[in-house]
Chain A
Amino acid sequence: MTATAPPRSTPEAGPSSGKSAGRGRLRPRVPDRLRRIGLPYLLLFPALILELLIHLIPMVVGVVISFKGLTQFFIRDWGSAPWTGLGNYRLAVKFNQPVGEALLHSFWVTVFFTILSVGFSWLIGTAAAILMQDTFRGRAVLRAIFLVPYALPVYAAVITWTFMFQQDTGLVNHVLHDQLHLTSDKPFWLIGPNSFWALVIVSVWKSWPFAFLCLMAGLQNIPRELYEAAAMDGAGVWQQIRKITMPSLRPVNQVLVLVLFLWTFNDFNTPYVMFGQSAPHAADLISIHIYQSSFITWNFGSGSAMSVLLLLFLLLVTAIYLLFTSRKGEPDA
């Protein structure tokens, strides 16, 4: 990443001449030089156009409508919706009023859900990756099976879980009540307070294989000699895991935890397939909440304001996280 390709005929230009790649050698023809400078932009052009269309313009539109009182009456011509300034935002953060209170509730639900889901996914993924670092019989098959939840389409997998969580016909209650006699009656899993735990379980089931996949990839990069040297020095397996494996995985973990956090926090598919358009109070994740305030109650302005607030929160967390992890990483580098 650091060194650019040195111009072929003039090695003395050095690899450190960052921006002047291609200019090191004086070209007689101007169009040729122009082509060289223009080339990267030409390569990027399709991506730039698409980025503009799918990200930049929608984002600007999103921010603009968050300042508008955009309801179903203005969908055909949203430009004519009345300007409300910070009205939508003020409503969203008035935590003693119904709208703000519901938003704050769903924010906390999402925070707890994300911490639990990412925590367990990371823990299980790490354990499985480390336990499967050595070759043993059946390892390849086991690895393929472990990746199945990751490969299954979300709706197919989550629909199966909702079937398992059915109160009267599901596997979960059959096992808990009929077979293990742990519960006196068959509890509801998809409504009421239990729905939060059902959501966490499904989310962990679905996300841990990604952690497993990344960490296995990370483990492949650890040189075997490190373990051999440690074994020579008398370190046992558990000590090797603590002293070699875990520190070596730190760069992978830094990316992994951030990616898992963002995906889980923004997850819409899982709760939507489990609960439909309106989630139970205990499992009202923020993306469903925003969806509901936008498309069910048809208040796009308010939904956009909440989306912008969510984005600002995620940006803030990511910035803090990156600052924290990069500073922490420095002494090792």
Chain B
Amino acid sequence: MASPKSFLWTRRVILTLLLLFVLTPVYVMLSSSLKKLQDVQGSFRWIPSGITFRPYIDIWKTVPLAHYFMNSLIVSVSATLLSVAVAIFAAYGVSRYRFAGRRFFTVTVLSTQMFPGILFLLPLFLIFVNIGNTTGIQLYGSRLGLIITYLTFSLPFSIWMLVGYFDSIPRDLDEAAKVDGCGPFGALFRVVVPAAIPGIVAVCVYAFMTAWGEVLFASVMTNDSTRTLAVGLRGYATQNDVYWNQVMAASLVVSVPVVAGFLLLQRYLVAGLTAGAVK
């Protein structure tokens, strides 16, 4: 469309303001992570008086960051893989078959999306503590316990998105595979899953990101050895001092993998949203 001047100017002004709004914290994170401690302890300065990479070395010593990193990685990857694997089967069933209870299942899954995390936190905490007391299986404080709790939000979302995505794949494709002698599982893995790769990638990205950034369950359900990054970053605040330069350096380090992964895969996420949520 031929855009009039008013439109172009509105666009320029609004997009510039938005760019500043979005990037200011990113700039603060980056610039402060390169400042000396006395610099971040004084009044804020846009331009650092001197650049030091010291914070990037110190962050690994002030708190066991590598250990937290490992914990976050194990928990997030496991929760993602588990929920997506389970969701693929469930979504295929819901998308391709009509059976008694189908509607009940989808409505239930959808509605759990809206439940506040705090609703599940208390009972899961008590259940884990009780299982530990009666059977000796320590779920409370363990990585497995955290993985299970993360399924409370990643599983419903994965099922919901994948049903939408599978629905958008022509049924004729897997019917044809069945004519060619594939069983239902053959049709699922040879035809539907390959065709749904963008959707599956989108769901993986989403599930991983939410698990990586989760704070509530991580604060309650972990102990010293299973602590994730979400809780571990608090370690840079001591009784007397907050090592803000180290906090910013650590924030940047834990953000880089997810942001990079997200930006690489974002077109899949848009495709997945188009097929799944936005229908």
Min CB gap B219→A, angstroms = 7
- The answer to whether B238 has its CB under 8 Å from any CB of chain A is no
Quick one: which of A77, A156, A209, A273 has the most chain B CB within 10 A? A156
Min CB gap B245→A, angstroms = 10
Quick check: A5 and B215 within 8 Å, CB to CB? no
Q: Which of B53-61, B113-121, B193-201 contacts A (4 or more CB under 8 A)?
A: B113-121
- The answer to whether B142 has its CB under 8 Å from any CB of chain A is no
Interface string of B139-170 (1 = CB under 8 A from A): 00000000011011001100100000001000
Quick check: B230 and A155 within 8 Å, CB to CB? yes
Q: Please indicate the chain B residues that have their CB under 8 angstroms from the CB of A46 in the complex.
A: 85-86, 89-90
Which chain B residues in 94-140 approach chain A with CB under 8 Å?
94, 96-100, 102, 105, 108-109, 111-124, 126-127, 129-130, 133
Quick check: B90 and A43 within 8 Å, CB to CB? yes
- Closest residue of chain B to A224 (Cβ to Cβ) is B1
- Closest residue of chain B to A74 (Cβ to Cβ) is B126
Quick check: B43 and A168 within 8 Å, CB to CB? yes
Quick check: A59 and B119 within 8 Å, CB to CB? yes
Majority DSSP secondary structure for residues of B touching A: helix
Q: Please indicate the chain A residues that have their CB under 8 angstroms from the CB of B124 in the complex.
A: 54, 58
Quick check: B44 and A170 within 8 Å, CB to CB? yes
Q: Which of A84-92, A96-104, A138-146 contacts B (4 or more CB under 8 A)?
A: A138-146
Quick check: A151 and B1 within 8 Å, CB to CB? no
Q: Which of A40, A262, A287 contacts B113 (CB 8 A)?
A: A262
Min CB gap A188→B, angstroms = 15
- The answer to whether A39 has its CB under 8 Å from any CB of chain B is yes
Q: Which of B105, B126, B171, B263 contacts A44 (CB 8 A)?
A: B105
Min CB gap A173→B, angstroms = 8
- Closest residue of chain B to A76 (Cβ to Cβ) is B133
Interface string of B241-263 (1 = CB under 8 A from A): 00010011001101100110011
Q: Please indicate the chain B residues that have their CB under 8 angstroms from the CB of A308 in the complex.
A: 119
Quick check: B1 and A155 within 8 Å, CB to CB? no
- The answer to whether B14 has its CB under 8 Å from any CB of chain A is yes
Quick check: B252 and A156 within 8 Å, CB to CB? yes
- The answer to whether A231 has its CB under 8 Å from any CB of chain B is yes
Quick check: A40 and B93 within 8 Å, CB to CB? yes
Which chain A residues in 133-161 approach chain B with CB under 8 Å?
134, 136, 142, 144-157, 159-161
Min CB gap B45→A, angstroms = 8
Q: Please indicate the chain B residues that have their CB under 8 angstroms from the CB of A218 in the complex.
A: 274, 278
- The answer to whether A8 has its CB under 8 Å from any CB of chain B is yes
Quick check: B108 and A47 within 8 Å, CB to CB? no
Interface string of B7-32 (1 = CB under 8 A from A): 10011001100110111111011001
- Closest residue of chain A to B164 (Cβ to Cβ) is A1
- The answer to whether B87 has its CB under 8 Å from any CB of chain A is yes
Which chain A residues in 204-250 approach chain B with CB under 8 Å?
205, 209, 213-214, 216-218, 220-221, 227, 231, 236-238, 240
- The answer to whether A132 has its CB under 8 Å from any CB of chain B is yes
- The answer to whether A50 has its CB under 8 Å from any CB of chain B is yes
Q: Which 10 A-B pairs have the closest CB atoms?
A: A43-B93, A47-B90, A156-B251, A151-B262, A58-B123, A153-B213, A40-B97, A61-B123, A174-B44, A266-B116
B-binding residues in A (CB < 8 A) = 1, 4-5, 8, 18-19, 21, 37, 39-44, 46-48, 50-51, 53-55, 57-59, 61-62, 65, 75-78, 124, 127-128, 131-132, 134, 136, 142, 144-157, 159-161, 163-164, 168-171, 173-174, 178, 205, 209, 213-214, 216-218, 220-221, 227, 231, 236-238, 240, 251-252, 255, 259, 262, 265-266, 268-269, 272-273, 287, 290-291, 294-295, 300, 303-304, 307-308, 310-311, 314-315, 318
